[in-house]
Structure 1
Amino acid sequence: MKVHSISSALLYLLPLVLSYPLIKGRHNDTRTDPHPAADPQHNASGVPDRCTDEGFGAITLDDDGVIHYFRGDTVWTGFQGPPQLINESWAGLTGPIDAAFRNHNEKKPQEHQRTYLFKGSLVWSYFAGKLVTGFPRLISQEFPGVPDDLDAAVECHRGECRTDSTIFFKGDTAYIYSSGEQPPVKQRHWPLGICTAAVRWLERYYCFNGINFTRFDPVSGQILAPRPLDSRDYFFRCPGRGHRHVVRQNVTLASIINRCSNRSYDAFSSDDASRTYAFRGGWYFRLDSSKDGWHPWPLNHTWSNLQGVVDAAFTFANRMYFIQGSQVSVYLSDQIYIPVAGYPKAIQEEWDVSGVTAVDAAFTCPHSSDLYLIMGNKLILVDLTTQKRYGEDRTIIHTNLDSAMCNTHGLYLLQGPIFYHYKNVEELLSSRKAPAPGDISSYFLDC
């Protein structure tokens, strides 16, 4: 039985959970320390320190999904990697770096997943750790219409922007570059102000100014958080900062946000855009974004006002549905998830399903209007175009399921730490013996 409550400890989170954007703040030059270090960018040992308030000149993920932070001649890698000279890991390049981004353009394989680094009037391109032949090049040759001496850059994916594109920042102006458009660059005033670095991470867009960051909408430039945040509390490890100590002190929370804890998942869902989610205890993981790392997020980070345990989740007609106890909530799925007015509603108010006040699992399959509700070992069919129950309820060989998900690879029924895979619903209904189980953690979550 699923309990619909959430511990107050879940309001505290490890770095990045509250990754709402910041408006860039200027570096504060006021010091109360009467004996300042000779160089504020270095620690007492003289080693460059990413935890100072200097911030970064550029931030990007590489083609392996590893994040890099550039400042001066130094680059830091990942959540806690040591400082390195830029030319030790990026051949032929020295700092400081003005801007950087990881390109996304599946229609152009020679550009897709390349990492671009900008300095002055030149741009370097790297793939699989090597400098691409023909680089460095003039920015004006590689990206016609984009100015030199950039402040920041970030890629924007089709679906999040109208088309695969790159947003270049210089001062309070944004240059939106789309290689397939004519002209390729659209110039606009950017309401965020100056971005000294920018990065796209797990479908979220961040503008940095010094050590602060702000999350923004890549289309409108709208700020998506009430106040700036300090990147040292969210993006990388710094002594005495962040929220990880709360996780260590709370065993329940730690097991929820540890994807490999073998704690059962409450729901799985995959939509028509191939976005796949695993839900557990008021949190979720994005399964299809593992190349950007595995990170838990609270539900309301993506679906505003949604919290607590999700019993089932599924998509239909560009909408995502969540069932929690006897209630259904619906969100429009576009560039961001937008709550539909009038929800939540009771299950029996949303669909003509008398006697159904809660479910163990629910799923839809791609390009189908059939909704399957699972209660115990009963399979109930609803036509989502009419909102009506139809056909006879069917009996399946499984009971006490936690979740179900149907995608282009088939139907998955999840129970505790294991799952059962069927080719389709028909195979499930005809089965008299369960297939060999698989391990959820290793199969779906790379544990």
Structure 2
Amino acid sequence: MTYADGRMCPKSLMNNCSITFFRDLHVKVTAINAVKVQLTCRTTCSLTNLKPTFQWYRKRDYVASATDQKHTVYGKSDDDGYYCVVQDQKDLLSPSVCVQGESCWRVNYMKHRICALIGSSVNISCNYSYPPGYVLVDSDTNTYWYTTNLRSLTKDPNYEHRVKFSGQTKNHHTLTINNLTERDSSEYIFRFLTNKLQGKISGLPGVKIHVTGLTLKMIPAANTTEGQRVTLVCSSSCPLTDNPTYRWYQNSVTQKQSQQNYVVLDPVSSQDAGEYSCAVKGHEELRSPEETLTVTQQFSQSSAVKNAAIGITVVCLSLVFLACLWTLRKKTQDSRTDTTQSGQTHSDPMYDNISAVSRTLVTAPHGEPTEPQDEPHYSSVHFHRSTNSNSQPPQRQEDVQYAAVNFNVSPDASKTFSRPAL
């Protein structure tokens, strides 16, 4: 957890910070006289603009509150440990101190809050002490870790094959939990017993572990346009312990790493589009789920005008092409119509002028006509030769004109044909 300004970080996430408050609380012991000791709660942060209230505890029992950071203890023979807490921030407490010497009933943890990733491992360490005259009973039943359900981890099947204890160093003990799951989020407490009935202590408050996964967020949105600003945030439900280094991946390829849990793409381009994920250095296999960044190309006003002009030009050219095509087709149809009519005109023999007048012939009894009979007369007869459809275009044919054509009804009658008029 990072501490700096004693305030909450802005939601913009542009500044490198997290939830901030006091750190490194510790108690200074000052002997006033033979029976009086003054305890002072100190912090490395400046308290100029802050007026917190400090609370004092003896072992785990509340003793007093004060705004001047000081507390007085009477009786140097007190063998209980004291520690201070900033009011409303009970997870941020000082290590326990002895009023006299270094041997009193106390358990001090290296960290009181740990934020760890799902699937990772965590170490919880503590130092402890007890007054002279007691002997530690070193066995699994007398020195152990347990959770808030008061069940020893050695007897809990949920932790089987996942926990390890290390207490080779005097007055020091470490609990290791492997392959963390969300169910492991709890408060862990160290307890030890001595050879005397009342010689025991539980280190309350214990260490709170929060197990979380990584989530990649895109601010303001995962869909954006070129030229905009996009912030990628690798977030978790708690500030990860030990200020880790973050790694960023685009399409499963490492792009960059940073101490901040965010990166800024400004301005964003189409090359930035893709699948993004994040991880913590040392736990690269524990990546966040991938999120898709979609970047749309942004057209300028000049480009829009240019594209509109191109569109209008294309439409006009299309209309001109269609008009030319229609005109050509019309001409082709007219030409075919004229050719058809011409072929029909010259295909069969035609008679331009045929006039005939019928007269009745009267036959005399002796077989001679009694009077001359009028015969049909034809002023002209025109014969046109038929043209073959497969031959060349028909040429104009010469007309043969006859001055007169006489047909006699009687079979014996003479037929008179005039010679062609030249």
Fold shared per TM-score above 0.5: no
- Normalising by structure 1, we get a TM-score of 0.24
Larger relative contact order, structure 1 or 2 (CA cutoff 8 Å, min sep 6): 1
TM-score (norm 2): 0.25
